[in-house]
Amino acid sequence: MTSATSSSGSAALASRSRAATADELAGIPWLGRLDAVERERVLADLRVVQVEAGEYVCRIGRPVSYWFGLIDGLLKMSNDSALGMPITFTGVPPGGWFGEGTVIKREPYRYNIEALRRSHVAGIGADTFHWLLDRSIGFNRFVMLQLNERLGQFIGAREIDRLTDPDERVARSLASLFHPTLYPGVGEVLHITQQELGYLVGLSRQRVNEALRALQARGLIRVEYGGVRVLALDGLRGFRAGG
């Protein structure tokens, strides 16, 4: 697991890790697809680490060593501003597993994964990931579905990046975080602050607040204490300002 400040960051985070609790294991969407032998290997390998706001789980150019999933908290996937115009590809809410394409190819990361708040991240080693691919049909189906949905997500992210209307950007970005396949842990309520949503969308907290009020007035969402409840997901996905 990778740190923002140390070239041996993978070992640094691993040294802070612990075994998953029963509740955390129950929230892993692919674990139930495994047979007894496969599950035993995963339980022996799977670790959970707490990362603080601003800490990196993955960094561009670092070698891949784990396949990650978010237990709780909020992460941001982005490029490196040193490489040009910074772009946020997506947020990662609870229940999301990510980076499978990088693990399959065993290539260095082409993106950063940063914690926007204190988060708990799970991971299995790349060798265990490939071992599961070699023997588990259920795991393969899960990973193929992930890859297919991720492709659609990134096509959508490019479309969002070209939107100029702030309300539309917020609507589409929220909709992408309420993805039942990629982020099954979210449900109907996403626990996110307006500041965190601003980091993901590239807008100020004040402008995000205006957009949320506009979406709420349309009956698409309801802003609740500490989060946002989706009322009409298809409406968010197809939202047009002034429509």
CA end-to-end distance (rounded Å), the chain: 45
Please report, as a single letter, which amino acid is at residue 57.
Answer: V
Using CA atoms, how far apart are residues 1 and 125, in angstroms rounded to an integer? 9
DSSP character for 84? S
Q: How confident is the model at residue 45 (pLDDT cuts 50, 70, 90)?
A: very high
pLDDT tens for each residue of 132-176: 999 999 999 999 999 988 887 776 666 666 667 889 989 988 998
Residues in CB range of 90: below 8 A, 6 or more apart: 76, 77, 153, 154, 157, 176, 177, 200
pLDDT the model gives residue 7: 38
User: Percentage of the chain with pLDDT > 90?
Assistant: 64
pLDDT tens for each residue of 79-127: 866 556 667 778 899 999 999 999 999 999 988 999 999 999 999 999 9
pLDDT the model gives residue 6: 37
Q: What's the token pair of residue 91?
A: 């947020």
Mean pLDDT value of segment 211-227: 94
Residues in CB range of 8: below 8 A, 6 or more apart: none
Using CA atoms, how far apart are residues 93 and 217, in angstroms rounded to an integer? 25
Which residue did the predictor score with more confidence, 25 or 172?
25
Q: What's the token pair of residue 223?
A: 């802003």
pTM for this entry = 0.84
pLDDT the model gives residue 10: 59
pLDDT the model gives residue 9: 53
Nearest to 145 by CA among 182, 180, 111, 119: 182
Using CA atoms, how far apart are residues 154 and 151, in angstroms rounded to an integer? 5
Using CA atoms, how far apart are residues 213 and 173, in angstroms rounded to an integer? 15
Q: What is the DSSP string of 33-83?
A: GS-HHHHHHHHHH-EEEEE-TT-EEE-TTPPP-EEEEEEES-EEEE--GGG
State the average pLDDT for the chain: 88
C-alpha distances in angstroms, 34 versus 48, 133, 145, 204, 237?
A: 19, 11, 16, 44, 33
What domains, with CATH codes, occur in the chain? 7-150 (2.60.120.10), 164-238 (1.10.10.10)
Q: How confident is the model at residue 38 (pLDDT cuts 50, 70, 90)?
A: very high
Q: How confident is the model at residue 3 (pLDDT cuts 50, 70, 90)?
A: very low
Q: What's the token pair of residue 48?
A: 């959970």
pLDDT the model gives residue 240: 86
